[in-house]
Every structure is written in structure tokens, then in C-alpha cells.
Homo-oligomer: A and B are copies of this chain.
Amino acid sequence: MQLDGVRVIDLTRIISGPFCTMLLADMGADVVKVEPPAGDPVREQGVKVDGLSWYFASFNRNKRSIEIDLRSQEGMDTLIALLKSADVIVENFRPGVMDRMGLGWERLQAISPGIIHTSINGFGDSGPYASRPAFDFIAQAMSGFMSMNGTQETGPMRTALPISDLISGNYAALGTVAALYRRKETGRGEQVSASLLGSLLSFGAFVSANYLASGTQPVPTGNDHPLVAPYGLFDASDGVIAIAPSNDGVLLKLMAVLGLSETLNDRKFANNAERVRRRSEINGLVNEVTMRQTKAHWISVLNDAGVPCGTVLGLEDVYQDPQVLHQELLLEVDHPGHGSVKMVGFPLKFRNEPCKVRRPAPELGGQTDEILEETLTTMREERVERVER
């Protein structure tokens, strides 16, 4: 697998950090999840089945767990022993905590020369807000993201997923692997960090480019594409369909299928600017046609014609969808003692060495002894090497 032989010491908890280390573990890294005696709080969050949180199971697959109380000297000694044989340490503490733990950059490099230190934080590791408590909802508000979401009527609206946590986890994984690659060239370690604020800001680059070029602030437009019409959700006879003609060529195909080609000869709808101005009128014309047939009909004929379209699925339908199943985006993982656990599959596909579930999410401290034993063996071998030299 891609990250075979890479050992990650994982001090993270909740979602952004565990998501980052899940991505590394899915690609083959040996992720050692260091948990306090109370465990990652996510163990107690979300819906449980037979005592197991499926949210925890999903984000911690492929990891091993060691229980260490980092508030004790003995615990810190154990962590330091673990770090000696590690390639990467990942944490999502507030900036400054690693320094206060005595694990600043110089010290980390002294303990484990070449180690990569990956950090996920709220606002970046310096600057006026660096020490503020962070949370996804706040990052959505402060990054401008919320101001674009929703409609004129609803006002600023969050999106339902903690996307700044997930994006920053994704960036942190990318930066970690890039630093591992670089280390193969230079032998040197690196400090990598991603913030909730910066990550979400980077995802708005397309809207920001237009704002920075024009000075005009974007307004929330709900399901309307701000620059294209017709576009959005339309009624079929048995429900709603999404149609997204991405350019004029695709629009011609859509209107041909709908029998509305002549509409585009009308001066009122002759170009996109006019259509956006009369959005409700042109959307209404499209809707009058789509409502006469079923969703299945339109999905079939529009896709055949090359017009991006689809149904609006709830999760019940998503996890029965033939494409989702074909792509193995729903996994069943055997958790001894907890039965079979369903979770989302791997978004990243490799032809030769695919991601796989090698082990279920660990019990709290489930591999404490095994990991301590490995660490002792490594330390013993190093000692023998030193003596023999």
C-alpha cells in the first residue's frame, strides 16, 4: 500500500485530526492513536449500536489504540519512546500546547531526527486569533462561507457538514505525505499545518476571485446558479430533479430534448445574461415540460443527450444506489463483539495497491501492550547497536 512502513503517532481527537489520520491509515500507514484514559470523546458521540459509536468506528478504522495519560511523567516518557521510531506526529491541539508539553520543534527533532510534525488548528499557529477556541461553525462564519450560503430570505446559513474540519484534515494529510516524499530526498523533517479558517477560505477561491476583481460581494442565491439560467431543481411528475446545463452547448441539448429549442430564438432568452434576468420565466417554461414525465424518464433521456442531471437523494436512497454500491462506497466492517458495522468507503482509488480495511476501529487502549512491546524491542535493539558500535 502507498504508505506501507510509515508510522504515525496520532494525538488527535474529535474530527479534523482523526479524519486526517484515517486517510493516512486507509493508505497503509501504521497509525497509533494515543488516547487519554477517558478516550477520544467521539467514542461517546453519535448513534451507538451494541455500545459502539458508528461515527467513531468510521473515522478510526485501520488504527491501533494505546492508552496513555499524558498528564503523568510516565505517560510523557512512553510518548517520547513511541516518537523515537515514528515518522509522523499529528495533533489538533491549540497552538502553543505542544511547546508547553515540551514537544516544540527543536525538541521533537532531537527526540526523533527527521520526524514530521503535522498540526491542525483553528486560525493558524500565529496571529491575533491564534489562541482563540475554534469550531467549524465559527470558521464557516468568519471565512465568508456562511455569507454566500442560503437564500436572500434565510440570510447567512451554515452548511450541514463540518466542512472546515474535513477540508483541513484533508490538507493536513496532503502536507504530511508531501513532507514524507521530500524527506526521501533531503532526510530532513518538516512542520506542516492547516487551519480551519485557511482551509475553508481556499475553497472559496473561485468566488473570492470574482469579489477581489470586481469589489462586488456575492449574495446567497439558494439553488440558483448566480451566473447561469435555466439551472437548478425542477419538478418531474413524481418528484424533483436537478439539471445543470453548464454551458451554452449543453443548454442547446437540454432545450432540444424538452422541445423548447425555439425558445432560444426569442430575443428575451437569446443569451445567458437575458436568461438570468428572466430566470423565473425561463425556469417556468422548463418546469412546464419536466412536470409531464417521471424522474426516471428525464434522468435517462437527459443523460443520453449529455445534459448533467440527477435526482435529489436522501441517504436511504444513496446507500441503495447502484453506482454507490458498485464503487464500494458502502463498506461493512466486522467489529468483533459489535457485529457488522456499515460505513462510507474509500473516496480515493488506486489501481495497483488500493485502500483497504485492515482492521476495525480499536477498543480504547486495545493495542497498549502490543505497542509497548514493539517499542521496548526497538529500544533494546537500538541499545544493542549502540553497545556494539
Taking Cβ atoms with an 8 Å cutoff, the residues of A that contact B are 1-5, 15, 23, 27, 41, 46-49, 53-55, 57-59, 105, 123-130, 132-151, 153-154, 156-163, 166-168, 170-171, 173-175, 177-182, 184-185, 188, 190-195, 197-199, 201-214, 217-218, 220-223, 225, 231-233, 240, 242, 244, 246-247, 250, 303, 306-319, 321-324, 326-327, 329, 342-353
- A349 in contact with B193 (CB, 8 Å): yes
Choice from B5, B124, B346 contacting A185 with Cβ under 8 Å = B5
Q: Could you tell me if A217 and B316 are in contact, using CB atoms closer than 8 angstroms?
A: yes
Across the interface, do A242 and B138 meet the contact criterion of CB distance under 8 Å? yes
Task: Let me know if B151 and A154 touch, CB within 8 A.
Answer: yes
B141 touches A311 (CB 8 A): yes
Contacting pair A222 B350 (CB below 8 A): no
Give the residues in chain B near A220, CB-CB below 8 Å. 160
Cα–Cα distance between A347 and B143 once the two chains are bound (Å): 12
Pairwise interchain contact B201-A344, C-beta atoms closer than 8 A:
yes
Q: How often does this chain occur in the complex, in copies?
A: 2
CB neighbours (8 Å) of A105 from chain B are 351
Q: Which residue of B lies closest to A149 (CB)?
A: B160
**CB-based contact A162/B206 at 8 Å:** yes
Chain B residue nearest in CB terms to A130: B323
Do residues B174 and A173 form an inter-chain contact, with CB atoms below 8 A? yes
Which residue of the partner chain, among B194, B244, B247, contacts A347 with CB atoms under 8 Å?
B194
Give CA–CA (A321, B23) in the complex, Å: 32
Q: Give A143 to B309 CA distance when docked, in angstroms.
A: 13
Is B184 in contact with A174, judged by CB distance below 8 angstroms?
A: no
Beyond A4-B185, A128-B326, A212-B319, 13 extra complex contacts between A and B, CB < 8 Å = A3-B182, A58-B205, A124-B327, A125-B349, A144-B318, A151-B157, A160-B218, A161-B206, A171-B348, A173-B174, A177-B177, A198-B347, A209-B343
Contacts of A313 in B (CB 8 A): 141-144, 147
Q: Which chain B residues border A59 with CB–CB below 8 Å? A: 205-206
Residue from B125, B199, B244, B318 within 8 A of A138 (CB atoms): B244
Residue in chain B with minimal CB distance to A246: B135
The answer, among B55, B138, B167, B223, for a CB contact under 8 Å with A210, is: B55
Chain B residues closer than 8 Å to A222, beta-carbon distance = 150, 154, 157-158
Give which listed residue, B158, B201, B223, B349, contacts A223 with CB less than 8 A.
Answer: B158
Residues of chain B lying within 8 A (CB to CB) of residue A208: 58, 315, 319, 343-344
CB distance from A208 to the nearest CB of B (A): 5
Cα distance A48–B213 in the bound complex, in angstroms: 7
Cβ-closest chain B residue relative to A184: B184
Would you give the shortest CB distance from A41 to chain B, in whole angstroms?
8
Chain B residues in 8 Å Cβ range of A151: 154, 157
Chosen A-B contacts, 17 in total, with CB atoms closer than 8 Å, are A2-B181, A4-B182, A23-B174, A46-B209, A48-B213, A147-B315, A149-B159, A151-B157, A175-B349, A175-B350, A180-B181, A191-B352, A197-B323, A198-B345, A204-B344, A208-B319, A217-B315
